[in-house]
């Protein structure tokens, strides 16, 4: 396949050009390769692999070793897309030093291009330190699955004015901390638009309406390969598992 390697500059430029970004998850070589061949901009090796690949109830038990193992496989299939490695729960939450070391491990041992972590205002200092260490960071706000139990479950976020304002503050804090883009998960569509307009970096939505700068979906949801549930906002293109 031809094409050119997508860079973080390309991702930022897409927003300026009003070009919507495409992003999907992959956890192994063949899915990385298919995303590459389909011309997807960004491939996320998400810690959702705990649920859709390992059969766990959530993402909390996913380790650095799991992530590095899967990132390595995806990277082998992805020539052009920007590959994002997801920081697992508690790999960046205890100290700035540990966060930088673990972010570096995902890139050095896994081979991903950039990392992603969950959290807004409270995690901005950690994001800033990782970016200063030379590692590009994608943020993740709104519904943050690693702390879903603290948020009362896998629920829509930002439904009242105060909660919506907090999410806009999170987005601004991440932008100030130096993220090159951010994921916005499970918020009402009008809030998705407000957040996308509040920052200059691309806001990539998942269940955040259509007025954001791109969409990300968990591939296993999109193709009907995950047996437990299908989030309401997911467009299913096929159902691989017979029901
Ligand atoms: O882990 C993941 O797949 C994610 C997406 C839901 C954005 O974080």
Q: How sure is the predictor about 150, in pLDDT bands with cuts at 50, 70 and 90?
A: confident
Task: Kindly state the tokens that stand for 82.
Answer: 């920007």
Query: Does 118 participate in catalysis according to the annotation?
Result: no
Q: What is the pLDDT of residues 5-26, one digit of tens each?
A: 999 999 999 999 999 999 999 9
Structure tokens at 30: 């063949």
Joined together, the tokens standing for residue 121 give 């205002």
pLDDT (mean) for 149-177:
95
Quick check: 177 and 125 in contact, CB under 8 A?
yes
Q: How far is the CA of 46 from the centre of ligand 1 (A)?
A: 5
Q: Choosing from 118, 128, 175, 185, which is the catalytic residue?
A: 185
- Ligand 1, atom 4: closest residue by C-alpha: 46
Looking at residues 53-62, what average pLDDT do you find? Answer: 96
User: From CA 234, how far away is CA 223, in angstroms rounded?
Assistant: 10
Mean pLDDT in residue range 199-205: 98
| Weakest-pLDDT range from 33-37, 93-97, 204-208, 223-227 | 223-227
Is 25 touching ligand 1 by the criterion CB < 6 Å? yes
Look at residue 2 in the predicted model and tell me its pLDDT.
63
The pLDDT of residue 1 is above 50:
no
pLDDT, tens digit, for every residue of 90-111?
Answer: 999 999 999 999 999 999 999 9
- Please tell me the predicted confidence (pLDDT) of residue 151: 86
Pocket probe for ligand 1: among 24, 25, 215, the residue whose CB has the most ligand atoms within 8 Å is: 25
pTM: predicted TM-score of the whole model, two decimal places = 0.97
C-alpha 116 – ligand 1 centre gap (Å): 9
Decide: 214 in ligand 1 pocket, CB within 6 A: no
In order of 18, 43, 108, 128, 216, the CA distances from 33 in angstroms are: 27, 10, 21, 32, 17
Check whether 29 has a pLDDT greater than 70. Answer: yes
Torsions phi, psi of 109, nearest 5? -90, -35
């Amino acid at each position: 396949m031809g094409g050119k390697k997508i860079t973080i500059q390309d991702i930022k430029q897409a927003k300026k050009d009003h070009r919507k970004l495409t992003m999907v998850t992959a956890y192994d070589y063949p899915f990385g390769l298919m995303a590459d061949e389909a011309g997807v901009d960004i491939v996320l090796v998400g810690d959702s692999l705990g649920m859709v690949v390992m059969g766990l109830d959530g993402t909390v038990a996913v380790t650095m070793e799991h992530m590095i193992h899967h990132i390595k496989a995806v990277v082998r299939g992805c020539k052009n897309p920007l590959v994002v490695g997801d920081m697992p729960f508690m790999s960046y939450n205890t100290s700035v030093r540990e966060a930088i070391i673990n972010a570096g491990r995902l890139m050095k041992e896994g081979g991903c291009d950039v990392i992603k972590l969950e959290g807004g205002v409270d995690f901005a200092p950690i994001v800033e330190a990782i970016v200063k260490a030379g590692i590009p960071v994608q943020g993740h706000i709104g519904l943050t699955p690693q702390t879903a139990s603290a948020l009362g479950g896998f629920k829509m976020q930002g439904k009242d004015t105060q909660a919506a304002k907090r999410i806009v503050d999170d987005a601004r804090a991440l932008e100030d901390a130096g993220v090159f883009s951010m994921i916005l998960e499970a918020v009402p569509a009008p809030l998705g638009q407000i957040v996308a307009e509040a920052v200059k970096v691309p806001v990539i939505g998942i269940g955040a309406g259509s007025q954001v700068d791109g969409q990300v979906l968990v591939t296993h949801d999109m193709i009907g390969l995950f047996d437990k549930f299908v989030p309401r906002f997911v467009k299913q293109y096929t159902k691989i598992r017979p029901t």
